[in-house]
Structure 1
Amino acid sequence: MPEPPGRFQFARHVMTNQIAIGLGLVILGLLGLDWYLADGTGTLFLVRKGAELIEWMAFWR
């Protein structure tokens, strides 16, 4: 019997090892490209903004 509409079906969307490794390689490649072209300034910006977001979220906890 099919699931009623509006309910999640988790079994249909699975993160396989191959997908996880591919995503990891893409992320590492983009970090390396940022480091090569811009000396890591984009990565540093994202890390700083991420730290600000964590502090902001901890304030509202």
Structure 2
Amino acid sequence: MVGEEPIESEEQFEKQLRNIVNEATKNGVPVEGGWSIRNEDPSLPTLDVEIVVLAERLE
């Protein structure tokens, strides 16, 4: 299942984020857009996350 590995590095974060986005896309879940992530834990920051689809370069 996606997201079950602990995230202890930027590399692991990127890998899991890529896996989550790809899995959602394969299942027809729209991933383009923005989300605010508010945490109940005051020690964690409030974040704004945005996903933008980039145009493919044609060579």
Report which structure shows greater RCO (CA 8 Å, sep ≥6).
Answer: 2
Larger Rg: 1
Give the structure with the higher percent helix: 1
TM-score bracket for this pair, using the shorter chain length:
0.3 to 0.5
Normalising to structure 2: TM-score of the pair?
0.36
Give the structure with the higher percent strand: 2
Normalising to structure 1: TM-score of the pair?
0.35
